[in-house]
Chains A and B, each alone.
Chain A
Amino acid sequence: MPVLTKEQQFDLLYYMLLTRRLEEHLVGLFKEGKISGGLYSSLGQESISVGTTYALEKEDVVSPVIRNIATVLIKGYTPKDIFCQYLARVDGPTKGKDTTLHFGEIERGTVAPISILGPLIPIMAGVALAGRMQKRKRVALTYIGDGGASTGDFHEGMNFAAVQRLPFICVIENNQYAFSTPVTRQSRIADLAQRAVGYGIQYAIVDGNDVVAVYEATRKARALCLEGEGPFLMECKTFRVKGHAEHDDPSKYVPRAIFEEWRKKDPVDHYVHSLLDQKVFTAAELSEMENKIQQILEQAKKEALESPLPSSEDTSTGVFRV
């Protein structure tokens, strides 16, 4: 495995910080009552979206679920797009018709999720299938939680991808809780990736809070898939350090000690410190990056707040393609 260049390390750090700060702004907007509906954060598990998506090539297709905001940022959606989407403004990717990460554009290499958990597994298997039929050198990648991995669609999609040997990577983000339900109530196996054995495919279990480990595992999985050894099941172990959403108080159902344990493993802090320790970056370069990110976000948020709400005539547009 070739070592990451300084530029790549810089990018990884940038997307980790951008995601963290962007979500902090979203939480602020939520608390001000400007975001309606739920707000689901990736706090403490940014490294999974960053490491996996950054490991993909431009032609690869990826589909985020609720906590993969870094994925769409790396695929080129701007902070303004994101703010507008969460604020349900016309300038957002769904023009106010939906919220959260429910958007995508196949030309850009992203496919939209829906709220209902599971369908993306067979759908992304289909994207992988089409890529092969079209003789493209590309993989499809999507995510699922420890809870979502209990859906019927998950099993059907993985099994189909397996018998077809599709270039498809499924990343299970095992953050140990699905809403209030611990992973022990979703499955009796300790490592969800072991399900790969039942599908006859390869798998890896990765420290999800280590962005470099996630990146490297994804590169390997991608290479295997392109050699015809897919699909690949990758389980990233992590923890949801917040509630299910901003309105949910997890202290009612998650033991406090687990929180404290995982706060110490914060993936952003961890990466920042490792880069500083290895002297890849100086503290001055880091604060310069932080400043730049804050400027970008302030500007994007301002523009988004100035973006109009959709007009009522827009309600009936776009049901069918013309």
Chain B
Amino acid sequence: MTTITYLEAIRQALFEEMEADPRVFVLGEDVGAYGGAFKVTAGLQEKFGEERVIDTPISESAIVGAAIGAALSGLRPVAEMQFIDFIACCFNMISNYAAKAHYCWGAAIPIVIRGPYGGGVHAGPFHSQCVESFFLNTPGIKVVTPATAADAKGLLKAAIRDPNPVLYLEHKYLYRRIKEEVSSDVFVPLGKAIIRREGKHLSLVTYSAMVHLAMEAAEELSRDGVEVEILDLRTLSPLDEEAVLQTARKTSKVILLHEAPRFGGFGGELAAIIAEKAFEYLDGPIMRVAAMDTPIPFGSPLEETYLPDVKKIVKAARKLMDY
């Protein structure tokens, strides 16, 4: 066991998968000698050479398109978006090509598209977005959102070995803020949620950086005697629906927490699933804590207002506990 950051965990996963499987290669902007904008790919080109760590032009459609073509030919590409916001440029490649190939003509497209995601670092409306809902309504692509260093490593390994297109969203706020012991053989299967904290009064269902906010809020609520259960979804698609229903049935009170805007966000889908399948267990309305329905603003205090925070979670929890 060694103590590593979330960022280092991702780097290690790439390194180890490339070492173990010659089909795995990396492509993206500035990923080579420079090691990527955030240094996630630092040292990879030195080790694996320019053929397996490819610096591309600024051409996201070419990056993802080439990854798809290589995957169709039996390779296992990992494509980096310098910031996940730029994925908009290659939306067609992902949503209309990669996500439908298997369903329509049986082709395997084992690609991973990964990149820095999320806000909290004052990076403005084009470098801070949470894009999962763009893709969750597109069957055929898996969506992965690690919250811890161990998961970052274990889920990326699973994503690379998965025979489907996987969107792997790494939260840039966590890159260097999270540090923990990670066992060398960590592997986390896709599609399995995990209980981060056991509780019996209320469930917080969440993922990615929000898991850490949820933990803080749970700590605060425990001082009032409220025992919060925290479910970290880890993979949003395919969803571990049973885990969601189980915690809802157990505590009867559910708050759905995500960093993406509320309207059209994943919380709405989760709420519908719970309402359809566990309604009789509920003891209060399903609540959502999410970002505001605006683009994510740059400056202080706008971004702070926009994002969910511990206060908003605690407030929602207290309201729900009053039912």
Contact = CB atoms under 8 A, between A and B. Distances in A.
A189 B264 CA distance: 45
A312 B122 contact: no
B72 interface: no
Given A96-B299, A309-B300, A315-B306, A185 B125 contact: no
A97 B33 contact: no
Contact of B89 (A36, A152, A181): A152
B294 interface: yes
A98 B122 CA distance: 9
A148 B299 contact: no
Given A116-B89, A187-B57, A319-B294, A99 B302 contact: no
A315 B30 contact: no
B60 to A, nearest CB: 8
Nearest to A187: B57
Interface in B112-168: 122-127
B30 A181 contact: yes
Nearest to A97: B297
Contacts, number: 109
Interface in B272-298: 292-295, 297-298
B29 A181 contact: yes
A98 B293 CA distance: 16
Given A179-B37, A180-B34, A315-B294, A116 B88 contact: yes
Chain B interface secondary structure, helix, strand, loop or mixed? loop
B255 to A, nearest CB: 21
Contacts of A318: 294
A150 interface: yes
Interface in B15-71: 29-30, 33-34, 37, 55-62
A316 B261 CA distance: 12
A150 B302 contact: no
B307 to A, nearest CB: 10
A299 B81 CA distance: 41
Given A114-B126, A116-B86, A186 B58 contact: yes
A301 B30 CA distance: 35
Contacts of A179: 29-30, 34, 37
Contacts of B123: 37
Interface residues of A, number: 39
Interface string B257-269: 0000000000000
A73 interface: no
A96 B297 contact: yes
A151 interface: yes
Nearest to B33: A253
A99 B295 contact: no
B216 interface: no
A310 B126 CA distance: 19
Contacts of B305: 312, 315
B124 A98 contact: yes
B67 to A, nearest CB: 15
Nearest to B125: A98
Contacts of B225: none
Contacts of B306: 315
A178 interface: yes
A179 B297 CA distance: 24
Nearest to B122: A36
Contact of A310 (B37, B55, B62, B299): B299
A147 interface: yes
A318 B88 CA distance: 23
Nearest to B304: A312
B35 to A, nearest CB: 9
A310 B302 contact: yes
Contact of A151 (B34, B89, B295): B89
Contact of A315 (B34, B57, B297): B297
A18 to B, nearest CB: 25
Interface string A37-56: 10000000000000000000
Nearest to B35: A180
Nearest to B300: A309
A88 B34 contact: no
Contacts of A316: 292-294
Given A37-B123, A99-B124, A148-B58, A309 B301 contact: yes
Contact of A37 (B33, B61, B124): B124
A312 B301 contact: yes
A186 B302 contact: no
A90 to B, nearest CB: 9
B125 A152 contact: no
Interface string A285-322: 00000000000000000000000011110111011000
Given A96-B302, A150-B58, A152-B89, A253 B34 contact: yes
Interface string A179-209: 1110001110000000000000000000000
A97 B298 contact: yes
A184 to B, nearest CB: 11
Q: Which 5 A-B pairs have the closest CB atoms?
A: A88-B299, A96-B299, A115-B126, A150-B57, A180-B34
16 contacts: A36-B122, A96-B298, A97-B297, A102-B124, A115-B126, A150-B58, A179-B37, A180-B30, A185-B56, A186-B58, A252-B34, A310-B302, A312-B304, A315-B294, A315-B297, A319-B293
Given A152-B62, A186-B58, A312-B305, 12 more contacts: A88-B298, A97-B295, A115-B124, A115-B127, A116-B89, A150-B59, A151-B58, A179-B29, A179-B34, A187-B57, A310-B302, A316-B294
